[in-house]
Structure 1
Amino acid sequence: MIGFGAEQVILVRDDSKKKEVSDHIGKHTLVLTILECKGLEFQDVLLYNFFGSSPLKNQWRVVYEYMKEQDMLDASTPRSFPSFNMAKHSLLCSELKQLYVAITRTRQRLWICENIEALSNPMFDYWKNLCLVQIRQLDDSLAQAMQVASRKEDWHLRGIKLFNEGNFEMATMCFERAGDTYREKWAKAAGLRAAADRMHGSNSKMRCSALLEAAEIYEAIGRAESAAKCFIELENFKRAGMIYMKKFGESRLEDAGDCFSLAKCWSLSADVYARGNNFSKCLDACTKGKLFDKGLQFLKYWTENSTPAIDIVAKLQNLDEMEQAFLKKCASYYHKLKNTESIMQYVRTFYSTDSIRTFLRSWNYLTELVLLEEELGNFLEAASIASLKGDILCEADMLEKAGYFENASRLILFYVVGMSLWGFGSKGWPPNHFPQKEKLLMKAKLIARRKSEFFYKLINVEATILLIQEVSLLEMG
């Protein structure tokens, strides 16, 4: 069999017989099952042990009944044989179909090699009667006559046909005989991938081993797409992402980013999505990876380096809405951590002042809201918010900046009265002393002077009374 060529094949019943023959003859001859050879043609076909491996066994003797009906029996044929029974011989139809497929694969010569003569005799006797076959013992001269050499080009063409039919194992052998190393590795990888698919849900360890070997072969020969898919099936998403990023350039950046996201490599996925102007997925990766500063940098970059092309993509992807949603997620995250400084870093980049106000009010960040309104020059609004949070001195400061000097001065006096009479350690009259009391009263008088001289004198009297500590109320009366 060593001399069998690319246009010759050994056909066997099933995979177990195929392995048995392949192990015996090595990688020197094409060996296919009958199922695998459908649609293919060869110059020469050797059908090996079809009758010997048939589940019909000696039921093939029913052929003699047909020969009797056709008056084809002679003195050498048996006189005793079973009659055809539809129920008993139901398998015969399937066996005849397989036999037909096998013997019609040849264009020139057909050899049928059997190792149990009694099982093959019925069909051989039938064919001999029709003068269709010759019976010979397999010897060296016959084996020599069967051998046909093939060129590398023939093996190459046969390999392509088998590859396209999905018979990767035999295609691998053909490409090896053709000296085509690239296609040999390609066919081997495809065979490993197909084997892994067949093992799905059964032997996970062997399946993973086959997939990994296939992936590495694919990558080595430059079949990047196939390699990436194998690594994805292995859940090695990072390696698949690196292949998409390095081998396909800009065209597969989203696929690379998707793989990095599945691998939870959030920084890598965000970078790749950003390169591909996939704003939504980029910000989503930054959010999931808690890469809020990175996301903010991307937003600033997209704004500062805007181009007509980027603007079109941004509009199609509703970047403005995505940006606000991302910034709110950032602020909400730092709210849980009670990190006010970081919260304001993101809140201040909201697209409108009203949205900033709404956020700060909803999360009760009134101090930050006061500072915002103060920065914007909305002092009355700032005073109103300070009043809402019960910060009298802050309210007074905002009223002073708004030009409401009388209100600001009276609020400070109100605060001093409260702290003097009812503050910590106070016993009522005379007014208690507390740190900054004099400073606050001085401030109240200075603000009052900006209102009018009359109002200043009035506030001055009240301030003087609040500073008295030894005089009783009766003495004052």
Structure 2
Amino acid sequence: MAFNHQTVLSKDLETALAAFVAQGQIDSKSTLDAAILDLLVALQSANTDVASLLTAIIYKVDGLLEVVVASREEAAYTFRSKVLWALQNSAKHPNPIFITCTERIGAFLISIPPWIAVDQNIMIKHREFSANVMSGDATESKYLVNKEAELPEDLLIEPSKTKRFGKRHQRASSVSSTIQDPGRHRRRASTVVPKQPPSPTVATNRSPFPLEQLKGCLESYLDACIEEGVEEFAVDKLFRLLVPPATPQEAPDEPIPEPSLVPAKDLAQSPSTSFSLATIALHDILRDLSDTTKPKLGQWLVVVSQRGIKHLRKYFFHDRDTFSRIENAMRELAIGSFSTSNHLKLIEHDHGIPIYSADIGSNLRLLYHIDFGVPTNSTLESQFIRIFGPFPNAEIDITFWKAISAQLGRRGPEYILNCSVQTGDRKPSMSSSTTVSPIHSRPLNVSQCSEQELDVEIDDSQRLELHRILSLEKFVPLSDTFFDEVHRNELHVLTFTETGSYDTPAQDPSLGLSLLDMDENAEEEGHLPSKFSELKDSHFPLFATYDQLCMLLEADFNFRFEPSSLPIPQKGRAQVKQSAVRQPLVSFEYFDSQIWPRLDQRLKKGLHSALVFSEFMGIIKGSEASISKSSCYLGSAEYEEQNNRSALGDSADKSNIYSMFQTYQKLRPPASYDLADRAHALLAALQCKGVPGKGVDFLYVDEAQDNLIIDAAMLKALCPNPHGLFFAGDTAQTISVGSAFRFSELKAFLYRLERNDTHVRGGRRVPVDPHFFQLSTNYRSHGGIVKAAAFIVKLLDSYFQRSIDSLAPEAAHVNVSIHKPTFFSDMSNPADFSTFITEPNSGMVGLGARQVIIVRNESAASSLRAVIGRVAVILTLYESKGMEFNDVILYNFFTDSPGTVTDWRAMFLSQKEGRFFDDRRHSILRSELKSLYFGLTRARERVWIWEESGDGRVMEALLVASSLATVYKGGFVPRIAVRNQKTEWAEQAQQYFAKNLFSEAAFCFDRAGLSWWMAVAQTYKDRQDATRLGEEDPSRLPKFSKIAQAFDRLAQEGQSKENQESLRLLFTNAGECYTLASECISAAVAFLNAGKYTAAAYQYRMAGRFDQAIDILKRYGVDSDVAESITYAAKFVFTKRGDVR
């Protein structure tokens, strides 16, 4: 071997280094691991000076230094210590090899994919370090040169000789040169490749480098190198250099860890499949996902606000010439053709992010800004253009747009820099000498906006508009079909008036409505198979509820869990034996009404039913420790040891709760189940039999706080990919009684599951530890709401520390502190509330489409409707889950609270006077504070808390004292209702329908003027009510018959104007209801109209109409088992009556 220096290395080290050559003796991961270990041992025992050792490693092969410093072997720790010690004891100016070493490690760290958690400050340190290195005439800095430069002939190691770098590789590598010189930050990045640097013994012109700064930087880098996943990434990268593919291929966007595949026989031997490698390449997924953000009309991605699109349609209908000029302006921006006419700063002196205008003519300007953050691959993000829309010059309020500029700039100076465009300093693109290309750079290390108030004063009336534009507005990417869609809309809404001018009447709100899209159960039937094992690639990406996922698995394992005790019509699901059916579900409502009253009063004293049920489900039956129990629940002693999870600290309380749990097990129906029972049953089946069919590569769980910990174990079993499981949620929003979920516990649980993985224990892959990160910016609600909600979370964390995760306070994207929650206390006059929900201009009583009244429970909702009539959407707290509204009225939240005034006052006195707070005695406030937080954060813009009593005065005083709320002080009652278009009512109706809130959907359809859809929603509501009737109720069968007739009639009425899928679904509903009413012939006709031929034939068979049943068998495809049953019975009947066929 040859190096450009005269240092003599030990024989062991020479031998160890000799293994690292391209296409040499290293041909597998195992041989590479062995070679790395030999090298580390040789380095540990070498007597050669550290500078020479570094030189030998750095210039032997690209990637070897990174593997050494990232290794977790004991010898690597020793070597890293040697390096730092040698640097510390250097002369005033350290050997240049230490600077080169630091540069190499820094460049390696910033190339690491984002799923490997590395301190984000490393990027900043690397930029500063590189800037200092480049500030001198550093010969050695030529180690990184442009890709276009010829490789020197004396380059010793050429791992790329048999591998050509494609364009994607160039883009992935470009980050290095961009970051090396901040002064060149605005230029297009160029690819870099290794070039032979000068010998460390040759003098260079590099300026002296401060020793302490160098040592501090190198020490930080070495600490970052031993983070989880870094070593695996470095080894994989080196392996690809040493063992290139057999055939030339295009390099991926960035190096992706690819652990060795486990032989199929190993997977087959274990019923519980463990994952050693994602079954699909991760970089392929990243590339497919990035396709959605790639520019479609030019090199710049352009997005347009929905408000801008509405204005664009207006000009298309009324002024085609102006529309064409707007289209041309957008297309020029998409190709990066910036000029003085389309790239003029709206505000001369920037207050943050520059706002630009494009002159369209006719006193119109297109307003936009350069934004940053669109992912181009997994490591780089790009600039893009965000268009607000066309605005008349007379309507452009400069002060308001200054506020927009300042608000956008709250993300910090680095973001502002990345959003700047200076055409004079930028190289023109390859396609045109007059165009400018977007900057590509690493993602910014900014998680939330600055809390600093805007230094631009705007009217209070404009602050909500600021929030709407920057936080609530949705943007649509500009593409080849964008303008075509605008043209196509002409077919639906464009008419020609008698005067010869174009007119745009209100769009039909029924356009595009589909019952199949709204009915969740119908979607399951239409698009999901009956079993998990029958899922195919075409079903993915799959969106399903947790219940739907469980139902698919139940069918594979011959389980059936039915929430109701009523018979459920079969819908094509796998038939199971009656003994396998478990019903009903013991929900909290069932527990509270049927079991809680029967428990020992002495044991219940001082405890609330919600808290007790949460202890049952979340800890005794749903905790990690319960998985290993044959009974699937903890024993008394084990439960009392769960101090870190239980909301109770008193052992006596725990003893009483466990006694009640034992009684609960006896009192509940023998065949009943609760959610923990179902999770345990499915988890046991997965552990015993394995995943039916194929496992899932990536699984995203939303609203994770509503699940039990044992649910996570089941989901982990379905997704064996250690990189593929994602949980998102907010433990402060846990309003589902029975959940004791915390992310800190989930993280610890997944950590232990990973350590217990068969492949990890067998040494076939390294463990992948779960990572936790907080999304601390709230884009839904503005600062006036978010700050009040953060105060509630602070109370929860102070008094009920084990109930939520301790996180940094949430911050709003836009601070509109003028619109704080407002309390209306002691408002006992119903007329005042009617005035409050009145529209100020028309005087009509009733809220708008995106306004809502939230109450405690269904009883409170019914009482309020009886008082004010059907003039607004009224939801319970639980019904509003997963929804958001412009304005929210929390009605009688404290008046109807299970917590007493004494409970709230105890917290107040603790806050204001420092008195002791008994968290056991006032434990109900744990769920009450979560409910209050949840209610507040349903609102985007405004929140009012309306109380008929004075029970909310305590919380009112706490929030007002902290300047987080305001109070209505009597006098004129404001009118807060707004008017909406019919299309907005129709849009809201669909959301309610999809959440099975049929009564509210019917109300919204009525406001939209859609009488047929209103009747559909009301019929769904009637069916929902009928299913809740007991089997002994004499009105049950007549009601189902009436509902079936209504479904049938609606399907007939909709023949001329509604889509066929919706009509088929209505006929199907009619058939099912006829079946429940025991009207088999009517059911058969309805199923026949729906195209459900198997069900139609079966109903004819049950009615004894074998002629019709056989006719269906001959004409249509029918399930073979049903066909065989019908044929057998028909032969018997026909033979008996002498009708031989």
Provide closer, same or farther for how the CA distance between residues 136 and 129 of structure 1 changes in structure 2, counting only shifts above 3 A. same
Between the aligned partners of 1:206 and 1:83, the Cα distance in structure 2 is 56
Q: After TM superposition, list the pairs within 5 Å mapping 1:163-202 onto structure 2.
A: 163-199=993-1029, 201=1030
Residues 282, 14 of structure 1: CA spacing in aligned structure 2 closer, same or farther, 3 A cutoff? closer
2:849 aligned partner: 6
- In structure 2, the partner of 1:454 is none
Higher relative contact order (CA 8 A, sep 6+): 2
Amino acid at match of 2:958: Y
Match of 1:103 among 931, 936, 939: 936
Look up the match of 2:958: 126
Find the partner of 2:1082 among 222, 228, 239.
239
Distance 1:294 1:138 in 2: 88
Pick the aligned partner of 1:262 from 1097, 1102, 1105. Answer: 1102
> What amino acid is the match of 1:113?
W
Q: Counterpart amino acid of 1:252?
A: K
- 1:296 counterpart SS class: coil
**Greater C-alpha Rg:** 1
AA aligned to 1:172 is: A
Matched, 1:214 2:1043: yes
In structure 2, what is the Cα distance between the partners aligned to 1:134 and 1:277? 67
Provide the C-alpha distance between the structure 2 equivalents of 1:47 and 1:277, rounded to a whole number of angstroms.
54
Q: Structure 1 CA distance, aligned partners of 2:1038 and 2:1117?
A: 37
1:17 to 860, 864, 870: 860
Change (3 A) 1:68 1:55: same
- The DSSP-based 3-state class of the residue aligned with 2:967 is coil
Summarize the alignment of residues 407-418 of structure 1 with structure 2, pairs less than 5 Å apart: none
Q: What secondary structure, in the 3-state scheme, does the structure 2 residue paired with 1:204 have?
A: coil
Q: Which runs of 5+ in 2 are unaligned?
A: 1-836, 838-844, 1052-1065
Q: Report the Cα distance in structure 2 between the residues aligned to 1:184 and 1:177, rounded to whole angstroms.
A: 9
Partner of 1:367: none
In structure 2, the CA distance between the partners of 1:133 and 1:107, relative to structure 1 (3 Å rule), is: same
Q: Which residue of 2 aligns with 1:67?
A: 911
1:250-290 deviation per Cα after TM superposition (whole angstroms, max 9, x unaligned)? x5333211001122233332333344487745532423434
Q: CA deviation at 1:86?
A: 2.3
* 1:39 has 2:882 as partner: yes
Letter of the 1:176 counterpart? D
Paired with 1:138 and 1:290, the residues of 2 have a C-alpha distance of 83
Identify which of 1064, 1068, 1073 aligns with 1:230: 1073
Q: Secondary structure at the match of 2:1092?
A: helix
Give the match's secondary structure for 1:221: helix
- Residue identity opposite 1:216 in structure 2: Q
Q: 1:112 aligns with which of 923, 939, 945?
A: 945
The 1:20/1:105 distance shift into structure 2, 3 A limit, reads same
Q: Please give the secondary structure, in 2, of the residue aligned with 1:43.
A: strand
Counterpart of 2:924 in structure 1: which amino acid?
Answer: L
Sequence identity, in percent?
Answer: 27
Offset from partner CA, 1:190-239 (integer Å, 9 cap, x none): 1122222233x456334334423332221112110111111112222211
* Contact 1:46-1:110 within 8 A present in 2 as well: yes
1:322-401 matches, cutoff 5 A: none
8 Å Cα contact 1:192/1:213 also seen in 2:
no
Q: Return the letter of the residue paired with 1:265.
A: R
> What is the one-letter code of the residue matched to 1:128?
V
Where does residue 320 of structure 1 map in the other structure? none
Distance (whole Å) between structure 2 residues aligned to residue 20 and residue 214 of structure 1: 26
Matched, 1:28 2:888: no
Change (3 A) 1:214 1:123: same
Partner of 2:34: none
Question: Cα–Cα, structure 1 residues 208 and 97, in superposed 2: closer, same or farther, change >3 Å?
Answer: farther
How is 1:52-91 mapped onto 2 (pairs within 5 angstroms)? 52-58=895-901, 59-68=903-912, 83-91=916-924
Aligned partner of 1:106: which letter?
A: A
Q: Is the 8 A contact 1:267 1:289 kept in 2?
A: no
What SS does the aligned partner of 1:205 have? coil
Q: Is the 8 A contact 1:214 1:230 kept in 2?
A: yes
The structure-2 alpha-carbon separation of the partners of 1:224 and 1:93, relative to structure 1 and needing over 3 Å to count, comes to same
Structure 1 stretches of 4+ moved >6 Å: none
8 Å CA contact 2:1098–2:1126 kept in 1: the answer is no
Return closer, same or farther for 1:137/1:190 CA change in 2, 3 Å cut-off: farther
Q: Shift of the alpha carbon at 1:114?
A: 0.8
Distance in 2 separating the partners of 1:211 and 1:138: 51
Does the aligned pair in 1 maintain the 2:1068–2:1092 contact within 8 Å?
Answer: no
- Structure 1 alignment gaps of length 5 or more: 71-81, 298-477
Task: Decide whether the 8 Å contact of 2:936 with 2:943 is kept in 1.
Answer: yes
Amino acid at match of 2:997: N
What SS does structure 2 have at the residue aligned with 1:84? coil
The 1:291–1:120 alpha-carbon spacing in structure 2 relative to 1, beyond 3 Å, is same
Give yes or no for contact 2:1084–2:1099 (8 Å, CA) kept in 1.
yes
1:229 maps to amino acid: E
What are the Cα deviations for residues 393-433 of structure 1, in whole angstroms up to 9, with x where unaligned? xxxxxxxxxxxxxxxxxxxxxxxxxxxxxxxxxxxxxxxxx
Amino acid at match of 1:121: R
Quote the RMSD (CA, aligned, Å): 2.3
Q: Contact 2:1101–2:1126 at 8 Å: present in 1 too?
A: no
1:140 to partner: Cα distance: 5.2
2:925 is the alignment partner of 1:92: yes
Q: 1:136 maps to what in 2?
A: 968
Q: 1:166 to 1:294 in 2, by over 3 A?
A: farther
Output aligned runs, 1:388-467, within 5 Å.
Answer: none
| Residues 196 and 211, structure 1, Cα contact 8 Å, conserved in 2 | yes
Given the alignment of the two structures, is residue 271 of structure 1 paired with residue 1100 of structure 2, yes or no?
no
Q: Identify the residue that residue 154 of structure 1 maps to in structure 2.
A: 984
Does the 8 Å contact 2:1070/2:1083 carry over to 1? yes
Secondary structure in 2 matching 1:161: helix
- Asked if 1:287 is matched to 2:1126, the reply is no
SS in 2 for 1:39: coil
Instruction: Supply the AA of the counterpart residue of 1:170.
Output: E
1:274 and 1:282 in contact (8 A); partners too: no
Partner Cα separation in structure 2 for residue 24 and residue 233 of structure 1? 36
Matched to 2:956, the amino acid is F
> Structure 1 or 2: larger helix share?
1
TM-score, length-normalised on structure 1? 0.55
1:88, 1:240 → 2: CA distance? 56
* Equivalences, count: 279
